[in-house]
Every structure is written in C-alpha cells, then in structure tokens.
Amino acid sequence: MKKLKNPTACVIIIGNEILSGRTLDTNKQYLCKELTLNGIDVIEARVIKDNKKEIINTVNEVRKKYNYVFTTGGIGPTHDDITSISIANAFKVKLIKNKEALLILKKFYNLKNEKLNKARQKMALIPKGAELLHNPVTKAAGFRIKNVYVMAGIPKIMIAMFKKIIKKIKHGIPEISKTILINFPESCIAEDLEIIQKKFNNIEIGSYPFMNGKKKGVNVVLKGRNLNQIRSAEKEIKKIIKLL
C-alpha cells in the first residue's frame, strides 16, 4: 500500500490509577483522534506507571522512533508527581526553577489571594532548556523538550494544552475515511471484503465488528487518500450488502 509519509507519534499515558483500572483513560482517545484528524499517525500508545525508571526508558525508546511523543500525567504538586524529574533525567538535563513558570503561578495565586506554597512552587520545576506549554485552566505549565510534549493528566487541562500545541506542530495530510454500517456478522462479508481489499490496494479496508445487546454488526471503514478508490470500493461493498 503506497502512503505519503505523515509525521508519526506515540502517546504515553503515565499513571498508576489507569493501570489499576481505577480511572478510565479518555486522554488517549482524544489525542489519537485529534492527531489523526491532523494527519499525524499515532503508531502506538503506552500506559506506564508513575515510576522513574519506566518513564525514562519508555520516553528514551519512543522519542527516537517517532516524530512526536505526547505524555499526560504526573506533573502536579504532589509527591507522586514525578514525570518532570523523570523527563529531565531522560534527557540528562537538570530540573530547574523556571522563572516564567514561577511568575505565572505567582500572579495566579496572588489574584486568588492564596499562598504560593512549596507544593505549588514545585510545579515551576521544568527541565533546563524546555519550552513551556501554557495551561489556561490552572496555570501550572507543561513543557516541550525536543520532540517530547509533557502535558497534565486532568483531561480538561490536557485538552487546553493540546489545542495550543496542535497549532504549532507540523501536520500531515489526513486520510479520507468512509464508514459503512452493516447489520450482519462480519463473517458473512469477509471473503468479499478480502477480494475488494486486494482490488483497491491503495486504500485500507478495516472491519470492526460490534455487539450491543442482541444487535450484531460491523462497521467497515475505508481509509486512504484515493477518493476514487474509496468511492468504487464503497459501491462494491454496498452491492454485496444487498445480496445478503
């Protein structure tokens, strides 16, 4: 299958609460969807523990493999927030009090008549050389160091940060996508689908079965850049459905 080269990405969700099943992770889906819409191919996603070694090893592995790495989680004020120091270690740079980040926090807590206590000051510790990623919600910044974007874990904050990031980074060309809903088990169309995939080999045909209660069916998704092939494949699939 011929493909133009889009930028690639890896999403890393950092958090024990995800791996224990306590929290349903929605950040991954949001990031995957938005990146895909902007022509950035998410090649893999990982969920790892709040553990220095795990964070360092994972980030150092994937930042070499992909154009972009996006992490969420672990940059808050508590003792179990260890993403920033881990990323600094991964890049072998110091974690320093970032003046700009500190100033933003000072202003924010001043306005609220609250103290910039030690825990809040911790959120101004940023790896040396990193660029701040502004947080319009609670002001504690994330940061970018080389191709690694380090964001908060709270979805509302992560989304606000990401909306600024996506404006700045290099996009690819998003693929055209067409979904055909079929109310039959996929095993009824699998053989025909394979023939159609072979015929239209510049597009990707995915078959995603579902069961909702007693309702069974499949979403066939046609993806690619060749609109003619997508349209032709769609026609052929619809012909098959009529014969079912």
Chain residues that interact with a second copy, rule: CB under 8 A: 16-26, 28-37, 42-50, 54, 76-81, 117-120, 122-123, 137-138, 154, 156-157, 185-187, 190-191, 193-194, 197, 204-211, 221
C-beta of 93 vs 219, nearer to a second copy: 219
C-beta of 78 vs 113, nearer to a second copy: 78
C-beta of 28 vs 144, nearer to a second copy: 28
C-beta of 131 vs 197, nearer to a second copy: 197
C-beta of 54 vs 131, nearer to a second copy: 54
Backbone angles phi, psi at 57, to 5 degrees: -60, -45
Task: Give the per-residue SS3 of the chain.
Answer: CCCCCCCEEEEEEECHHHHCCCCCCCHHHHHHHHHHHCCCEEEEEEEECCCHHHHHHHHHHHHHHCCEEEEECCCCCCCCCCHHHHHHHHCCCCEEECHHHHHHHHHHHHHCCCCCCHHHHHCCEEECCCEEECCCCCCCCEEEECCEEEECCCHHHHHHHHHHHHHHCCCCCCCEEEEEEECCCHHHCHHHHHHHHHHCCCEEEEEEEEEECCEEEEEEEEEECCHHHHHHHHHHHHHHHHHC
What is the smallest separation between the CB atom of 164 and a second copy, expressed in angstroms?
A: 18
C-beta of 73 vs 127, nearer to a second copy: 73
Q: Which residues pair with 206 in a beta bridge?
A: 221
C-beta of 26 vs 228, nearer to a second copy: 26
Long-range contact pairs involving 113-121 (C-beta distance under 8 Å, separation at least 24): 119/77, 119/78, 120/77, 121/97
Residue 91 contacts residue 145 (beta carbons within 8 Å): yes
What is the smallest separation between the CB atom of 146 and a second copy, expressed in angstroms?
A: 23
What is the smallest separation between the CB atom of 129 and a second copy, expressed in angstroms?
A: 26
What is the smallest separation between the CB atom of 168 and a second copy, expressed in angstroms?
A: 20
